Amino acid sequence: MSTSRFIEIDGKRHLWRDILQLRSEQKKAQSRAQQPTLFEIEEDCRPIRQRTAEGRYLEPTLFCS
């Protein structure tokens, strides 16, 4: 079976190499895109052991005096 130079999308014929070129442009644009952060990044001021779930489980502070 031979490969076709054209592809039909919505009843229109397009050159396959044009589709590949458009896709490569999309990939380049996506790699340059930047997404803003949703929340301001703040420094974690908790003790080191309290920063992980394991540390909070091993040394709970709820009932400590």
Domain residue spans of the chain: 1-32
Which tokens belong to 23?
């896709």
Distance CA 61, CA 1 (A): 70
Which tokens belong to 64?
């400590």
pTM of the model: 0.46
Distance CA 7, CA 17 (A): 10
Tens-digit pLDDT profile for residues 4-44: 898 898 999 999 999 999 999 999 999 898 888 899 988 98
Phi, psi of 13 (to 5 degrees): -90, 130
> How far are the Cα atoms of 4, 12, 30 from residue 36, in angstroms, in the given order?
42, 38, 14
